[in-house]
Chain A
Amino acid sequence: MSTRVGPLVLERRALPSPRVMGAVRGGAVFLGLLVGAVVLLAGSYPVIGSYKTMVSNAFGSGDAFAETLVSAAPLILTGLAVAVAARMLLWNIGAEGQLYMGATFATACALTFPGWPRPLLLALMVAAGLFGGAFWALGPGFLRARLGVNEIVTTLMLNFVAIAWVSYLVHGTWRDPEIQFPISKEFTTSATLPSLFGTRLHVGLFLALAAAAFIWLMLRQTRWGYEIRVIGESQSAARYAGMPTQRNIVLVMLLSGALAGLAGMGEVSGIVHHIEPNISPNYGYTGIIVATLGRFSASGVVIAAVLFGGLQVGGFALQTADVPVPPSIVQVLQGAILFIAVGAEVLARFRIGWHKPPSGEREAIGGVEP
């Protein structure tokens, strides 16, 4: 009942061990940081000093933690977007594009109705953000449901299209003629989300947490959430129970896109206050890591998002450290942590032991020597 991998023997556990699963994720972060240390050493950067800078800039003070939460807010939303789709075995790699589309639709409202009362305009922008993201996910969802077209390729290609589209808009229609760079006009105050505690932290964090609570409740308490979980476990069981698989594929993709779109709304309305083609430092792609490390659960996504928000903020702070480190180290760390986390999951699914030499095996099987 076991397979050999080199000198090791893997024995499948009846159920993945949740205790080991938790330890694996913590251990993956630690080992990922070790890989990062090797990479920093290879570039002759100070390891301890760099990590100290990262930690103190991400978690060292109230203001630092506020910055971490600023990055965590969109990561919670993109992480949820990926997680909710993954629950149904759909891979939405397009959160980045859906984020940009949400931002675009929200910006359209902000620029069209700049004089509206703030609560009204913000509510409209939230709706527009949700709609924009959902709109961008509709095509891939529909194609997957009706024609079986692989959603990984379609969602991903649309990322590039969305960013090119934003670039097109700010080079033309939306360009602020008074500014040298191609960016849109600055939003009016009524189009900006209120900030908190005099930091860059904004109400978008509450939107993200509310979305997490919504997804948690939806998956656990509603009939629809139940259907999603069943379809994710077994398509054939779901079909046998009469659950509408195709319709649910489209609906879940719409929900997934809407969540990512809301992240885009939060970024333009809460942080940048205009739109341009680089409002997101890969929040959509990082959302995939966040969802994976959070084991595709709402609570796990929130925790992983805060961690990766800190990684993002700490990594950017390295650029201005005493010995500046290139910001690409953040992606190296992200990739390494994800690698180790998925690779180490084998620990939770299998019991691992050393392969015993043949003589021992004979003893174990027969116990009788001639």
Chain B
Amino acid sequence: MNSWVLTLQVAMAAGVTLVFAALGEVIAERAGVLNLGVEGMMLMGAVTGFMAMNSTGSLAVGVLVALAAGAGMGLLHALLTVSLRASQIVAGLALTIFGTGLSAYIGRNVVGTPAEHSFNSISIPGLHDIPWLGPILFEQNLLVYVCYGLVAAAWIVLFRLRLGLHLRAVGESAGTADAMGVGVVVMRYGAVATGGALAGLAGAYLSLAVSPGWSEGMTAGRGWIAIGLVIFARWSPLGALAGGFLFGFMEALNFEAQAIGITISADLLSMLPYLFTILAVVVAAVAGGRRLGAPAGLGIPYDREQR
């Protein structure tokens, strides 16, 4: 196989974890709730998903547990920020610190334990024969295909269904949405929990597909990159897919460079995704003016009394 096709195939596989996490954050932020706890939710998803899979022998159970763990963390964030009206920034940071600590604590005895099962590559008959695109898009593991489906579903829900219209209304102007009869609290809880579940899935993708197993802090800052990616994606599911792929490409380049013996330091290469996130955020700011298409109500707790 052409080496570039191989690199892009790795890029897609590496990027999917960012797509899951960024997609979840897009949904939460579209409802007006910033959740900086993505890293913590991903780590909880990664560790619980891995441990559930190893103790039951079922990948499906692992994924479900990771979804539940992420959603649970998301609900905690919603409780604090939606019901108790705490600062979304501080609550999100608390979630990341808590999740980082708790995941390390829960997984203390399974560090380095080999995975009994992992998601293996499945070629989609017919489609994977397409030159170039086939191997890149359709010789991947099951969760990558799930990712395509979720991106499409999220786009349809957000921009083509009444539910999405209501969710975006809550994020743009909670007071107006409330006056329309949309349940602001329910919408926000739902969006943040969904975002959490997707972050949990992003973590499980790492611990069940990319590098099966668990190690402390194995997300290595990807949760934070996902948050930057949301701005780059302009709060759109399709943007999250494109951005995730782009960042996956950078990660893949890192492997590629080492494989062909390019003598750039691994430390310098590891800076690239972070520097590129900054660049992406700056470009988005310059191109989009100050508002960037961010939901107008992002970060503002809703209080009916203060409408």
Q: Chain B contacts of A157 at CB under 8 A? A: 224-225, 228, 274-275, 277-278
27 A–B pairs (Cβ distance < 8 Å), ordered by A: A1-B305, A5-B83, A39-B102, A91-B89, A147-B285, A150-B281, A153-B228, A157-B228, A157-B274, A161-B274, A165-B267, A168-B265, A285-B93, A326-B108, A328-B100, A328-B105, A328-B108, A329-B105, A332-B102, A333-B101, A334-B98, A335-B95, A338-B90, A339-B95, A343-B91, A346-B85, A346-B86
Q: Chain B contacts of A303 at CB under 8 A? A: none
Interface residue? B80 (CB, 8 A)? yes
Q: Could you tell me the distance between the alpha carbons of A1 and B307 in the complex, rounded to whole angstroms?
A: 12
Interface residue? A330 (CB, 8 A)? yes
Q: Could you tell me the distance between the alpha carbons of A149 and B280 in the complex, rounded to whole angstroms?
A: 10
Which A-B residue pairs are the 6 nearest by beta carbons? A335-B98, A331-B101, A328-B104, A168-B267, A338-B94, A332-B101
Q: Could you tell me the distance between the alpha carbons of A93 and B92 in the complex, rounded to whole angstroms?
A: 12
Interface, chain B (partner A; CB < 8 A): 36, 40, 76, 79-80, 83-87, 89-91, 93-102, 104-105, 108, 216, 221, 224-225, 227-228, 231, 265, 267-268, 270-271, 274-275, 277-278, 281-282, 285-286, 290, 303-306
Given A147-B285, A343-B79, residue A158 in contact with residue B97 (CB < 8 A): no
In the complex, the answer to whether B286 meets A147 with C-beta atoms within 8 Å is yes
Q: Chain A contacts of B224 at CB under 8 A? A: 153, 156-157, 160
In the complex, the answer to whether A331 meets B97 with C-beta atoms within 8 Å is yes
In the complex, the answer to whether B97 meets A285 with C-beta atoms within 8 Å is yes
In the complex, the answer to whether B100 meets A171 with C-beta atoms within 8 Å is no
Interface residue? A167 (CB, 8 A)? yes
User: How near does chain A come to B187, taking the closest CB pair, in angstroms?
Assistant: 16
Q: Which residues A19-35 have CB closer than 8 A to chain B? A: none
In the complex, the answer to whether B89 meets A331 with C-beta atoms within 8 Å is no
The listed residue (A1, A161, A333) touching B275 by CB distance below 8 A is A161
Q: Chain A contacts of B104 at CB under 8 A? A: 326, 328, 331
In the complex, the answer to whether A289 meets B305 with C-beta atoms within 8 Å is no
Q: Could you say which of B89, B105, B281 has the most chain A C-beta atoms within 10 Å of its C-beta? A: B105
Q: Could you tell me the distance between the alpha carbons of A307 and B91 in the complex, rounded to whole angstroms?
A: 20
Closest to A8 in B: B83
Q: Chain B contacts of A164 at CB under 8 A? A: 267-268, 270-271, 274
Q: Mark A148-179, 1 if CB is under 8 A from B, else 0.
A: 11101110111011001101100110000000
Interface residue? A17 (CB, 8 A)? no
User: How near does chain A come to B10, taking the closest CB pair, in angstroms?
Assistant: 21
In the complex, the answer to whether A292 meets B281 with C-beta atoms within 8 Å is no
Q: Chain A contacts of B227 at CB under 8 A? A: 153
The listed residue (A3, A160, A335) touching B99 by CB distance below 8 A is A335
Q: Chain A contacts of B105 at CB under 8 A? A: 39, 43, 326, 328-329, 332
Q: Chain A contacts of B221 at CB under 8 A? A: 160
Q: Could you tell me the distance between the alpha carbons of A330 and B97 in the complex, rounded to whole angstroms?
A: 10
Interface residue? A2 (CB, 8 A)? yes
Closest to A154 in B: B278
Interface residue? A336 (CB, 8 A)? yes
In the complex, the answer to whether B101 meets A339 with C-beta atoms within 8 Å is no
In the complex, the answer to whether B90 meets A148 with C-beta atoms within 8 Å is no
User: How near does chain B come to A298, taking the closest CB pair, in angstroms?
Assistant: 19
In the complex, the answer to whether A336 meets B98 with C-beta atoms within 8 Å is yes
Given A91-B89, A157-B278, residue A338 in contact with residue B285 (CB < 8 A): no
Q: Could you tell me the distance between the alpha carbons of A154 and B285 in the complex, rounded to whole angstroms?
A: 12
Closest to B99 in A: A335
Given A3-B305, A149-B285, A331-B97, residue A160 in contact with residue B80 (CB < 8 A): no
Closest to B100 in A: A331
Interface residue? A345 (CB, 8 A)? yes
Q: Could you tell me the distance between the alpha carbons of A339 and B83 in the complex, rounded to whole angstroms?
A: 13
Q: Could you tell me the distance between the alpha carbons of A336 and B113 in the complex, rounded to whole angstroms?
A: 28
Interface residue? A118 (CB, 8 A)? no
Q: Chain A contacts of B286 at CB under 8 A? A: 147
User: How near does chain B come to A157, taking the closest CB pair, in angstroms?
Assistant: 4
Q: Chain A contacts of B102 at CB under 8 A? A: 39, 328, 331-332, 335
The listed residue (A154, A171, A288, A326) touching B281 by CB distance below 8 A is A154
User: How near does chain B come to A178, taking the closest CB pair, in angstroms?
Assistant: 21
Interface residue? A143 (CB, 8 A)? yes
Q: Could you tell me the distance between the alpha carbons of A262 and B281 in the complex, rounded to whole angstroms?
A: 28
Q: Could you tell me the distance between the alpha carbons of A72 and B278 in the complex, rounded to whole angstroms?
A: 31
Interface residue? A210 (CB, 8 A)? no
Q: Given A158-B278, A335-B95, A342-B94, list of 11 further CB < 8 A pairs?
A: A3-B304, A153-B228, A157-B277, A160-B270, A289-B97, A330-B101, A331-B98, A335-B100, A342-B84, A342-B91, A346-B86
In the complex, the answer to whether B304 meets A339 with C-beta atoms within 8 Å is no
User: How near does chain B come to A158, taking the closest CB pair, in angstroms?
Assistant: 7
Q: Chain B contacts of A158 at CB under 8 A? A: 274, 278
User: How near does chain B come to A313, taking the closest CB pair, in angstroms?
Assistant: 16
Closest to B306 in A: A12
